[in-house]
Each structure stands twice: as C-alpha cells, then as structure tokens.
Chain A
Amino acid sequence: MIRMSLVYLTIVIGIAWVITGGPSFVSPPEPDLAAIFAEGSPPGAEPVGMSTSTAAALAAVAPPGQIGLGRPLVRGGDAALGRTTAAILRELALLPKGQTPEGTDYQALSSVALSGLRSLRGLPETPGTSLEGLVAQALREGQSDAYIDALVNEAAGQGQLSVPAALVTASGQVDTAVLLASLVQEARIAAGFTPRPSPERRIPDSSYTVQPGDSLGAIALRFYGDAALFPALFAANQPNLASPDQLQPGQTLILPDRAAP
C-alpha cells in the first residue's frame, strides 16, 4: 500500500516536473506532452532521466556475462565512423540509397546473426536500436542535440548498441557532438555547399593533453578539420594508445604534421 502510494507520488511529481519545465532535453522542441508519450517517440526514449551515475552503479553489481553496462561497446576499423555518418544520412535521404561501396553488406549479414542469437537466448528483439536508427529518428523528430546525446549515451551505457571507437571520450561517454558535426559536414559536402577539408592542410608537429570530454574523433575534427581523419592520429600515437576508445584524461597525444591518411 505504501509502495503504491510512493509510485503514485513519483508519477505525479514527475508529470508536474515535466509540465513546469525540466531540462530542455526531456521535452521536444515544442512542449507537447502528448508527443512525448505518442507511439512516435523513439525507442529507448523512456530511460533518458536515468543518470550516468546510476548506470555506473548498476555496472558495478552486474553479474559476469551480463551484457555490458559501463563503457560503450565499440566498433573497430578506420571506416566505422564514416560508415555511421553515411548510414544516417542515407536514412535521412541526404545521401542517395544504393549499394554499400564495400561490396559486402555487413549490416545485413550481422543483423541476421544478431537477431538469431538474441532470439535463441530469449533476449528482447530490439529492431531499430542501432546508433544509426536512433540518431536518424531523433533528427527526423527535430530533437535537440542534448536530447540526442542523452538518448545515445543511455542506450550505449546499457549495451544496447555499439558505437565507432573514435566516438568514445576519455571519460567513457559517446561523443555525439562530433557525430552530429560530422553529419552536418558530410551533408554539406554531399550537397556541394563546402569542399572536403584539404588533406594537404598542414599544422606544425605538436602535442595535446587529452581532456575528459575528448574523443579521438573530436581531436581529429579540431586539429585536422575532419573527424574521419582520426586514423592518422591513432597511428602516430602507437603504442601508447591501444585502441581509439582507450583515451585517458591527461594523456599526451602527438599531433603529427598533417599527412594524408
């Protein structure tokens, strides 16, 4: 009885909090309560309110073998970031659909395997819960960057999706800012508004101290004008960086004299 009352109280306070204006990322741009709970709300939208410290607390008590709670599950390979931006832009019809340039449609092959294994293990089917699907849907709905950041980090923290390694910050978050900046940049290039950043652009050899919010993609974007150029940065910092997602705050990175990747 007391528990029921507490649940009821929590719901009432929660609704009042949303109506009176919580943080901007909880409400869509137009504050319409119906829209928040409409069927159109993106998958995984509900747990936005859960803080990252809660995720960390849950990760600490998760039994071994439980699907990861904590640092995001990463996708390796130099092309992962470029593939992700291209896939989102294709979903938004900002890039033409068509065959993937690589020849093998790894996403289709993998989704067959993932769906089969999840079904076998009795895990919930999560259609559309890919980084690409989540971001594309949120962008179609006109959600704010902060909302997208909370949405993606919530899903990644619960191990529901994998992200390109270059998007993992030194503090273990997903750097959605760099992803969104890359989307805008690639869309503008595709539309012929801006040329691709010149690979000949040179900067002096120097070093950089990693900040907690930095991802390798963000550092590449800041110093070389293109997040997708992170592989050159990664290569220059061998063997002190095991993987692009293993940046540590305070770590010193060599910024190589700009060379074509």
Chain B
Amino acid sequence: MSRLTHLVLVLAGLAAVSTAAADEVRLTADLPEARFSLNGQDFVIRRPTDPTSKLSGEFTKTARACPPFCIQPMVPITGVTPVAELEVIRFLQDRVAGGQGALIDARLPEWFAKGSIPGAVNLPFATLSAENPFRNDILVALGARPLGGSNFDFSAALELVLFCNGAWSDQSLRAIDALVALGYPVDRLHWYRGGMQDWQMLGLTVARDQSLAQAGGGAP
C-alpha cells in the first residue's frame, strides 16, 4: 500500500471520529442523558443532535416591558435556594422519583401545555392566592396536614423546585412568596430561576401536554 493510501485512510478515520463527536450531545461529560420514572411513567431528558437546532417563538425575544417582565434576583427569599439544570435533573431523579418532591411549573395551564420540563406538575401561581377557595386542598395535595382553619403542619410536605418562563418572569416567585406566607418551610423550597428560557436555550427535552398524561394516571 502506498503512503498516499495510508494518508487517505487516516484522514477518513479522523473524519469519522469528528462526525461521531458532533453527533454526540451529552448533558455533561459523564452524563449522556437522564432517565427517571414517576408513578409508572418513564421520562428521558437529553439534548438535540441536530446542529441547526435553535430557539423559536416566544423564547427568542429579548425586549419585554417591565413591569411586568422584570429581571429577578438569584435568591428571592433568604433560605430559598437557587438551582440550575443539573440540580433540577438530580432532583427529579432522586426526590421526585422517590416520592419526596415535586417539580412545580407555576405558569398558567396554556403555557404548561405548550411545553414544560418532563415530570413537572402544573401548579399555576394564581391557585395560591387568598381568593382561591381551593387553596387548602392544594396545600394538602402538597403533603401539608390540616390543623383546622388556616393552620397546617408542613413537617411532611413535599420538597419543591419551582420555575416559570425564566429570569424575566415573576410567576414562580409569586408562588414561592405565597407558599412562604402560608408557612411552607423555606428550606423545602428551591427556585430554578432560569426556567423554560434557559432549559430550552440548552436544548433540553421539552414535554408537551403533560397534564393529559397526568390525568390518565401516568399510563405509558
């Protein structure tokens, strides 16, 4: 075999390796994708392999009126810890899958249906306002124990990660404020400030119409 043929083979081999590297879009160097199962339903979170993948629609905007779309701080209330994507994924795999936590999408149902984080539950921020007659039912569904009137024992309440559209939206902060005012322990509340904006910017899997899946009791 000539030296030229050798060179061609080596180049072809390099090309193949580089193509494979481009196709592989891991979450982290150690984590190709994340899988978890909630109440019998399987979920997977991964990143897109299509190199032309881009943000679209509402999430490409950079100009928004403030108020209401104001920039939010990192730590909204002392004791409520900020988290990012890897913590959200770990939370889903450990706490939520283990029955001790819930990932809360605090936006209104239309937004939730259009696309949310896999495994999230839609708890619209408005349901935690004092005007909602069913607010106490929601606290019980979050694991609080009613003690009569507006008093609750939160010792067995779920650990929560809340999010909304992102750092330009205050909906999840309104939900956190309301929960803290109702007595929810701050050390059981975490905030994913980046929200759907950052989640989608990283190309992470978005689930649509999850409420329908939930209504079906988690059937596959």
Contacts and interface: CB of A to CB of B under 8 A. Distances in A.
18 contacts: A64-B156, A65-B143, A66-B145, A67-B145, A74-B150, A75-B133, A75-B134, A75-B136, A106-B132, A110-B127, A110-B134, A115-B211, A117-B123, A117-B141, A119-B214, A121-B39, A123-B141, A242-B149
Interface string B76-95: 00000000000000000000
B176 to A, nearest CB: 15
Contacts of B115: none
Nearest to A66: B145
Contacts of B38: 120
Interface in B125-149: 126-127, 130-138, 140-143, 145-146, 148-149
Interface string A62-103: 001111100101111101100100000000000000000010
Interface residues of A, number: 43
Contacts of A117: 102, 121, 123, 138, 141-142
Q: How large is the interface on B (under 10, 10 to 19, 20 to 34, 35 or more residues)?
A: 35 or more
B18 interface: no
Given A65-B155, A243-B150, A246-B149, A118 B141 contact: yes
Interface of A: 64-68, 71, 73-77, 79-80, 83, 102, 104, 106-107, 109-123, 125, 159, 161-162, 164-165, 242-243, 245-246
Contact of A67 (B124, B140, B214): B140
Contact of B149 (A116, A118, A243): A243
